[in-house]
Structure 1
């Protein structure tokens, strides 16, 4: 029976969608994840422009910029000599009503610390008191919580302000880290919210400034989440805020330090009140070569400049300016503060929603490639990409980040794979499968496989299967006592009979390992009852072996005993081997565990042991006896094992009685009630090997209270 073309193509589409979506969200493409934010930032700027006027920005920047370095008296003086002017500007901003002033620059040294010889002493001694105005401004501002200095955490050697500045701002009470978070592609899209310093959480500079501006302390949850003024700060990376940049270069008002310094000499207090009242101020450098960072704003930057209202100095054009992909680091912190105050940090989706969107994109692309010619499919897909990108841009206008890169990658991959499938796959796949599998599978299994709703994938696929593992007891001794010809005749009869039973119940023999048989149910053909069929096959093998022991000439009156282990689980089934020779086989831990369960029969004196997963899938069709909870060799997890007694309708009263007594004894054993356990096990110990084993174990503990570390789980060391 042929699989219909529609069904076959549906299977191909589903496989392509899953593979492409899974690949798109896999770690291999982690570096392109942040690209979605970068593209959305640019698209939003192009489609919607600025979301608010610059004057409405809660944060302003005071820039030590190129203009400042070209303006007297700064043009001929090193930065360390500017502290007096910085102190005067700081005092003017605080007196003008700034909520808080943060420094995105660190003065590690003071000119007063200079030990360069000058005259009869050191230069620092000659200029003692040079930083007095700056330190007084810091002390006055920090006393009211309006000044925060920055530091850079760097292992055991942080970059911190000079000792005098740290004392002026009351040490770490008013010093906060300036570190940012860099993604794997060296792009800054996030800012940390807190840092661990001496084992205590310390807010970052951005969180501290926003906190003081809002008059609310950050709330740190046990799971690492951070809330501020009732706003639970979102973050795809724990303990970070995803930056929601505006486009262009004018969204955060920027004042040139040179102009503000001149304004203090004019004593224009009204200017400072108009421009800084109620604002968060960040002081730092905005230069062409210093502290430049790639951010998620990299596709929509602008020519930076001090475009805020002027007080004293006319705008001085700086030659050689051009738009760059990097921005000054100070705008990263300013954006973070704005996002925290406005409660509009970018919200990223988790991996599962991204995977679902990628799967939808892959499904659409694969469907178009299936129905249309390649050119038409490409055009249809690009049109869908444009529509989706427009919708994602509109969503980003409300701070929601919908993925762009992962769906696009998944869609392109699905488009290419489906076009390739259409060119390469024809009806020969069915003939190829029949010809290949006929070499090592029974004909009825091949027919069921081809009639199945799901063809196995050449090269391997994951299936839920049941593995039946059989072995003969004492085979080495049997082989020693028989001639080679007699042994071969015995094994041919035994293996043929057992194989027929396994195949008659829908399984196939994966391999023979000496006297062992590995049977698989549930592959290559779909079989929803594979666990029940494996159990039926196990009972059939036991019954048939009893007949062979009585009547088979090849057995020569010998009583052959077999042991069977059954386990259900996911396994990789397919073609394994070399390029020139391969076998259709099954590989997984489910096979190994079936082998271990077969070996467990040695200890318990049983014939068929199954795992709890197999028992769970068989329902009430069979009568099972819970044997024990064990750990088998090679595994650390505990496992409850069961003995297969009979079909449920064929259970004898004697079997039921033994099972009931055993269950009572096992319950007392696990509770540490060894005397009671021994009484129950003794009822059937004469005729039941598992009861006898537990009776001996219970009696060895009789009269003893269970130790506090009592563990009823047995570890089997033998395979």
Structure 2
């Protein structure tokens, strides 16, 4: 099994997933593919549906050639004298200007020519007011009539232009030719404006151009010309950002209208209003109030289904094309702005970068729950910020690109982290289940930060066990029987260690080494180690007695317990996992286990361990100088209850009292089976005093 020391390298490679997703998200946002633009526009449309422009009865009216007007007056096309009567009826109402969203490209064919020319009558009517005629535009160059000047498209414009800051023509929507009105009608009209819209790929009209590029010539839109005539000015002022940034705004009289780089106005649509429309038949029969048009901009158009002048609206459904012009004029005249300035893509790209970066960090560094909450909070923040900008600032900011980009980073990174977590959990279960108790495995899976495999200094407690004289016993025992007995013994010893949340350090033959406070730190590791040793010793005694009752000889267990600072970690390299501890404390615990055979004890506990168990009853053994150590180590034998008589005799011996021998001899007569008492009696009789014992053998 590969060691987890390779995890840092894997972690570095793991960053390739969020970084690649981040790069892809940023490139997608930068190149802005049509599908992304479509989703962005759909978001803007939803904003409009949630928060349409309030209708405040602005000075704009539509004279509508509706189905009822066609029923009353006659089917379209109407004769020019009827159109003239309609315009004359509007002019009598003293409007600010009139814009006709109808094209008169051919002579009147509905009336046989007589002394009165209907087109001439219409021209005279046009000349009496401030009327804008609409013309069409096409991207394909039309073939000029035979004998006509190929550079003359027959379009006569009435307005002038003052460009500021550079030539705006390259940034405007470009068309190659126009479909113009009759020349005498053009001459009579006060202005001419393009009726052309530029719908988005989904057919929705979201912007109305104020100025367009007709084969290198600046031409106004129908709405712009209507506004110019109402303002009583003869020119437009176009302000551009150098020769690279496009149009900034268009000035018409006193009004400065912010546009996009292509000179178009973003339209914030109001809901359909019946007050906006006046049927054409009411103008013709003279049934309108005298002030119905006074001071207003009047647009003449059609909503009749059969005339096919219908457009898709961001609010849903279709509306007459003339209403799009009217909505744009309403917005301008009420000083309501809907803008998407040139700096917004840069802001959105930066927001995308920051949002994706934060999502990547959360997904890589935090739990799935925290990173998911962070992603949702960031996505919601982007949406709420864009919504607030729309409602409070009339700004169109795109929340969808940052949201989608963050999702593009979050999803693969989270999936990768999940797969990594699953792999790590499987590895931990497979590996640590052999070393530590199941509840510690569960804890490490839930808190992987608690696991440090690279190596660290840690104060731990150790329990070393070994079977006394087991090698000689094995020589007399059937191998199959010996293996079964040892395995049963070791299974229970390890189970006891796991019950106390110990970690299996190693098994060498019949010897077991248990570690406490690693890999998970345990504040009471000394107490755990001592309780574990006592339970192991109790089990060993029962195991020996049970086998003896069946006529099977088995060895007693000797145990050493010590506490000290060691280095813990994986010492198996890249090829194999071997989580263990190295240091003097480990060797000392092993030496204490071996000291039992010289002392006559079964459990030998160091003073360092017993200091962490203040209520544990124990009797002092001696100050031992173990093999390989320069100093002495105070050791104890744990008991079920305090032994006051032994303690008094030991204190006499430690103090060099001549009465110590008599005290221990009295204890020996009372406790003939107490090996530790017999040891001290033998030492004192040999003339040795004090509590120090040197054990130079391992």
**How does the TM-score come out when normalised to structure 1?**
0.46
**How does the TM-score come out when normalised to structure 2?**
0.47
- Name the larger-Rg structure: 2
